[in-house]
Structure 1
Amino acid sequence: MEQQALVIALVGVLGIGAQWIAWRTGWPAIVLMLVAGFLAGPVLNLFDPEAAFGPMLGPMISIGVALILFEGGLSLDLRELRHAGDGVWRLFLFGIPLGWFFGAWGLHFAGLVWPVAVLFAGILVVTGPTVVMPLLRQASVQPRPAAILKWEAIVNDPAGALCAVAAYEYFRLSANGATLFEVVPPMIVAAVLAAALGYAAAWVIAYLFPRGMVPEYLKVPVLLTMVIAVFVAANLIEHEAGLVSVTVMGVALANMNVQSLRSIHPFKQNIAVLLVSGIFILLSASLNFEELRYLEWRIGLFLLGLLFIIRPATVLIALLGSSVPWRERLFLAWIAPRGIVLVAISGLFALRLADLGYADGNILIGLSFAVVVATIVSSGFTVNLVARLLGVKGTTRPGLLIVGATPWTIALARQMNELKTPVMIVDSSWQRLAPVRQQGLPFYHGEILNEATEHNLDLTPFQVLVAATENEAYNALVCNEFAYEIGRDAVYQLGEASENDDYRALPESLRGRALFQSGFGVEDVGQLKREGWVFRRTRLSDQFDFNDAQQKLPEANQMLLLLRPDGTMRFFSHAVQPQPRAGDTIISFSPPQPKTPEEVAAKKAAKRGSKAQTA
């Protein structure tokens, strides 16, 4: 009992620690988790997952994979298929059989007997959201290729599992004289039944939750229990059909517009991170050197062929005649990392093939890890370079999302736009957006809290949100809603709770961070803007530091933010003052510069001339 608790604690520390290091360094998180698990397991012998959990290890990993696929399905919006559907359907209908065919020939060339080669090639068609999604976040790829990769990863996981099951059932039953036509139709029927089961479960959730038939505190437990139950029930219909059920359940639920699911999004994201981290550590720690001894030079050639021949040929042939541009096709042809599902299913079928008398089945575990490492390393460390060379890289400079079109926010947006910072003003009033349109600034007409906005407005480029409408309570609501997605430290609003009478009833935890050290509110900045206050930008250097800037600017000047050379924004607030350094640009809100005596005299002379003409 104590040993199992220790293993669970070590898995958590290693998995989340690897994720944190990846966040700090920009390295692929999956690579770091594989390295951490391999070092903790076969290298240092800190723990052995199989010895700690015994026969429970397999079901634990299977249920974890099911929950990950369900969470991935919840992120799939069918409206994305309007732009990416052509590529997605072609990669599913043509890419899977092509990849299976090319992979089987490659594995047979590498020395595997045909049954083992065909079965493992079926598993190889998977990519997986656990490895694709982190890469897309890391590289900031344009929307269409990113959507195609995301859909392919989530849809192909259950498809690859079914391919492996079909191959296994055929070779198992062929000894008794069964033909291919006796094996495949029942598999298709099982897949359809599993999909129907997943859709029915999604419909039940979509019916119960909005009608208050499940209390708020039970929604997450009910949903997770339903996913596991559907997974197990579908597996009773056919081995690995549960992956089809949970994927369909997630996609269906995501497109049923269930408003009450918004509250569980942060929780499901946390669960996905924990599961991905834990499963990768457990699987890599379970590897042993005995399984690696099967790998030889021909396997190395197969890995090269997989990267440079099999995947490119599969994608380029499948997308012939499609609307996907060639540069995006080449990017898709290179990015195909494999992850959890490949290793988990390979371990399952390695034992089953050995029971059928295929000695080559033992190679599947070591080979699956070799494929995972080769594809993750090649994709993870080159995705930025390849995306940039092919021109499919999205916006990498951090963007600013401004909620509310007022004279103050429009002036701020104009300043940030001139500094090449991606900026977007969101407002539900077409009339208030009129000056935004006149100045050619990017805008979105709609309600930011409406669920449709999540689908119509790509929020990926924006790392900072400023809510500055004329309604302070609404600003707090916006900040609280987006704190989970953008980050609590990256949502800001005007006004300081402790100093604003209108805010004494609002806890600090519900608000965004206060802009300006002075705690200016919406009415304050509006009044100052009418009095002629303007935004100023000051560039710091080794010869002109922050102290020099403070002396040059007016005494009443209010520092708003620092803009680093890489586009990172650091705001001055009542709680935090960033540390300026050479190369930074300071954006400040300042009173109008006092006029010189010559300007005052000229203005008086102009007034006198105007009066004389009137007389």
Structure 2
Amino acid sequence: MSQDVLLVLTAIGLFSLVSQWLAWRLKVPAILFLLASGLLMGPVSGVLDPDALFGDLLFPFISLAVAVIIFEGSLTLNFDEIRGHGVVVRNLISLGLLIIWLLIALLAHFLVGLHWELAVLFGAIMTVTGPTVVMPMLQAVRPTRAVANILRWEGILVDPLGAIFAVITFSVVVATQTSTHWIELLAHLLRLLGTGLAVGLLGGWAWGWALRRYWVPQFLHNVATLLVVFAVFAISNVIAHESGLLAVTAMGVWLANARGIHIRSLLDFKESLSILLISALFILLAARLQFDQLSALGWPALLLILGIQCVARPLKVAACTVGSSLGWRERAMIGWIGPRGIVAAAISAVFAERLLAQDVADAQLLVPLAFTVIAGTVVIQSLTARPLAKALGVAAPAPEGVLILGVNSFAIALGKVLKEAGFTVVVADNDWDSLRDARMAGLRTYYGNPMSNHAERTLDLSGIGRLFAMSRNTEFNRLACTYFAHQFGRREVFMLPVSMVSEDGRSNSKTKPSMELPGRRLFAEDVSLAKLLSYISRGAEIKATRLSETYDFEQFLADGDQQRILLAAWNDKGRLAPYSKRWESFLEPGWTIASLSLKEPAARETLNR
């Protein structure tokens, strides 16, 4: 039997991995493949029976997993960020949250027939539209930057806010089941809220205090943070039953807004754990579903999905964009995209188990209805969002901007020239001090690893269509090219060799063009980052030269010297072409060429020595 359990657990991990890989490959939310995996392993094949596999440990495990997910979401709830993303985003996560809650509650009551208590709770759960489903959809749809930014930040910020709102609503529903008088109801609710807030804030303060004093070494931050979250969740639940989720939320919000704490290291904790945890959790929850539960919902569930998609979401967006500069096309696009995600599914499972224990009417419908709405909204929007964006004219044109990986004097100079030419440029690096120079040069920057989950959520790549990997770390450049080749296409990822000479002074074969490279060679074959930085240190500048009828490409080459390095060219239609041997086949009057040249002959002689 132990071997069977081991095989099932291994299968859960493998299905989780395959689901995430397919989602990455096809640019669709992973939740679709996770749901299919759970149904396949559970009701279809009968291989996975979560209740028999875990027994009494199933829901403690689910509860702890939900606590981790909610804590991670609350770590992104920085008040400064909320204020910094415009009136529309602020309205969507405040007024819009209340509007969608009321509308979904009404639809659930009148269409599905849920009792009011459960309808109100279901509406609160369905307010959450997390980034795990929004981000892949935005990558596939590629809407204009204004639309993409609003949807991205709504998904990021409403994830923890919606979870908090759902927890509070659940506390009210639980209180109504255990209290008969309004004074008892109020006292019970205040006890839940007070305990959760007090334990969470105290835990956040204490853990932040320990981190600021470096009591915990860096390599233990992830594990220690996880255990502290578990402790806060358990202690709060012991003091006041059902207050644990509110406690971990309060703890995360405290840490997100505390001064002197490197929140990025705590977010790394999520990236190390949450992909497998969330994937396995969703497969387990989907495996507990029964087809007769789903079929019993019938047409009312389909009408509920259509009501949320075509009525509730558009009305929410319409109310929240009044007075904004958005046109009706942008509002229609934002009003169409709002898929539900893994957080809503996980919370519904935990809440349903608690309500079933208290014999709450219709509690058995909560999980299958939540999964139906989640699957329905994701499928509908995945299939229709891109055609709708094209029809409305809010699909962004083919992106020609550049993501520059690695900050140095040449990268900053090139970024400035491309930005002045009208291209979107983002510079990414892990060095905060180096990024300061890029920001002072007027360039958009991203501090951190552009391949991280944090970057997937917060790095705005609207208008970006290619990668220039030019950091001082060759392996990091190769990894970035491999990662972004899927998003941009292999022909649009470029890698610049760090040096043409290895450490022992010999020719470095790794810098030579090869089909094994994950991307294309950036610039000419004899150009390396070391050479470009050497030019810059000797006063070289990037010059832009426009071709005309009287000054064509051949004349441009004839006027140059051997020290000049050709970098990139662009035309008036917004097309950008990094240097290649094919330039002469399409460069014509109207194109502008950027090249790096030394200003003084003396400097050239110095370089040649």
Partner Cα distance (2:537, 2:265) in 1: 38
| C-alpha contact (below 8 Å) 1:327/1:392 kept by paired residues | no
* Cα separation, 2, equivalents of 1:424 and 1:357: 56
In the aligned structure 2, how far is the partner of 1:162 from the partner of 1:100?
A: 13
In 2 relative to 1, CA 169–85 (structure 1 residues): closer, same or farther, beyond 3 Å?
farther
Residue 520 of structure 1 corresponds to 528
How big is the shift at 1:59?
Answer: 1.8
The residue identity in structure 1 corresponding to 2:273 is I
Partner in structure 2 of residue 312 of structure 1:
314
* Cα distance in 2 between the residues matched to 1:273 and 1:429: 31
Aligned equivalent of 1:123: 125
Report Cα offsets for 1:43-82 as digits up to 9, x if no partner: 2223222221122221212211221222222233322222
CA–CA distance in 2 between the matches of 1:70 and 1:380? 28
Residue in structure 2 matched with residue 545 of structure 1 by the alignment: none
What is the TM-score when the length of structure 2 is the normalising length? 0.71
Q: Is the 8 A contact 1:128 1:157 kept in 2?
A: no
RMSD: 5.3
1:379 maps to 381
Structure 1 residues 80 and 114, CA, compared in 2 at 3 Å: closer, same or farther? closer
Distance 1:159 1:323, change over 3 A: farther
Q: Which sections of structure 1, spanning at least 5 residues, go unmatched?
A: 469-474, 538-552, 573-577, 593-615
Pick aligned residue for 1:178 from 178, 181, 184: 181
Letter in 1 for 2:85: A
TM-score, normalised by the number of residues in structure 1: 0.71
Q: What are the Cα deviations for residues 311-366 of structure 1, in whole angstroms up to 9, with x where unaligned?
A: 33344345656787766654443333223343334334445555555563322232
Where in structure 2 are the equivalents of 1:329-478 lying within 5 Å?
329-354=331-356, 356-357=358-359, 360-386=362-388, 389=392, 391=394, 396-397=399-400, 399-401=402-404, 406=409, 410=413, 414=417, 422=425, 443=443, 459-461=459-461, 464=467, 466-467=469-470, 475-476=472-473
Give 1:377 shift.
1.6
Corresponding residue for 1:152? Answer: 158
Q: 1:96: how far off?
A: 4.2
Kept after mapping to 2: 8 A contact 1:402/1:467: yes
**Structure 1 position 53 matched with structure 2 position 48:** no
Deviations 1:77-124 (A, max 9, x none): 322222436445544554444334333332222333444434433433
Range 274-283 or range 344-353, more displaced: 344-353
The number of equivalent residue pairs is 543
C-alpha distance in 1 between matches for 2:414 and 2:126: 53
Give the match's secondary structure for 2:297. Answer: coil
- Decide which of 292, 302, 305 is 2:294's aligned counterpart: 292
The match for 2:199 among 197, 200, 204 is 197
| Native 8 Å contact 2:29 2:133 kept in 1 | no
1:20 CA drift (Å): 0.9
Q: Secondary structure at the match of 1:399?
A: strand
Give the partner amino acid of 1:153.
D
Any gaps of 5 or more consecutive residues in structure 2?
486-492, 512-517, 546-559, 598-609
1:355-400 deviation digits (Å, cap 9, x = unpaired): 5555633222321211111122223334445556374869955622
Q: Work out whether residues 200 and 247 of structure 2, in 8 Å CA contact, stay in contact via their aligned partners in 1.
A: yes
Identify if the C-alpha distance between structure 1 residues 18 and 529 changes in structure 2 by more than 3 Å, giving closer, same or farther: same
- Cα shift at 1:566: 13
**Cα distance 1:289–1:25, how it changes in 2: closer, same or farther (>3 A)?**
same
Q: How far is the alpha carbon of 1:494 from its aligned partner?
A: 5.1
Structure 1 pair 324–290 and aligned structure 2 pair: CA distance change class (3 A): same
Amino acid at match of 2:404: L
Shift in alpha-carbon separation, 1:145–1:127, aligned structure 2, 3 A: closer
Q: Equivalent residue for 2:12?
A: 11
Residue 493 to residue 372, structure 1, CA distance change in 2 (3 Å): same
Contact 1:494 1:520 in 2 (8 A): yes
Q: In 2, Cα distance between the equivalents of 1:433 and 1:224?
A: 35
**SS of alignment partner, residue 499 of structure 1:** coil
Give 3-state SS (helix, strand or coil) of 1:400's partner: strand
Q: 1:178 to 1:491 in 2, by over 3 A?
A: farther
2:579, 2:7 → 1: CA distance?
42
* Residue 23 (structure 2) aligns with: 22
**Greater Rg, structure 1 or structure 2?**
1
Identity, in percent, stands at: 29
In the other structure, the counterpart of 1:142 is: 148
**How far is the alpha carbon of 1:17 from its aligned partner?**
0.8
1: CA distance, partners of 2:482 / 2:256: 20
Amino acid at match of 2:165: A
2: CA distance, partners of 1:501 / 1:299: 69
